[in-house]
Structure 1
Amino acid sequence: MARYRLSGPAKADISSILRTSETQHGRDARIRYRGLLTAAMRRIAAAPHGLSTTDRDELLAGLRSLHIRHSRNESREAPVGDPVHVIFYRVVEPELVEIVRVLHDRAEPNRHVDSANKNTETNGD
């Protein structure tokens, strides 16, 4: 399996998502959503050009996306009823995927995705 790393903006997105999840739905919901996000990032690392992914070259060359609902059955936590986030990512090396942003599915990605996503940290198995 390939590795994944998070850009600085993606790390901030995830922190905000999880904080909001806990504030609005409680600690257990935060844990379930974190599990779903992790499962989705692992899925991306394992198959970055998988059937559930979408080419997003119109936003940034080489960019792809995956709605996290496609990973509901892969989370180690209890299911999340209605996940609402999309992970934007790109393959930067044959065995390395960069998670660029994690945005609400109603957000306009062209306002949030740009080529300035350079702050990264390696994660994954």
Structure 2
Amino acid sequence: MKAFRIKNDTFGKSYFEEGTLPEHFDLSARRFFLMTEIEDYQRLQHQAPRYQYVVTLKGKLRFTTSDAKSFIIEPGILLIAEDTVGEGHSWELIDGEEWHRIYIVPEPDAPDGFLPSDFS
């Protein structure tokens, strides 16, 4: 499954990596919740409130990290948010009026299973 992971560098700047999750990845999770509302503060640059997976069910969004680079999330693409300190990220809806998503909160030390794409 295609995925993007947002992380922080040692200076607190956020950046993203493109990659995948393996076909049979088993995540040890603590919580799961659904969100459909959009609050204005979420569109501004912010940190992830916790290490979490975001599964988009409806909507197409452009995420921008503090290094000013962007990527697109839509149904079928997983977001792993690990930028819980520093400058954070922002997003904007670029298609549709709603963003329906599921948050999955892993156990604190659970491996994320992310396999970065090889850009060489």
Confirm or deny a common fold (TM above 0.5): no
Q: Which has the higher helix share?
A: 1
Q: Which has the higher strand share?
A: 2
Scaled by the length of structure 1, what TM-score is found?
0.29
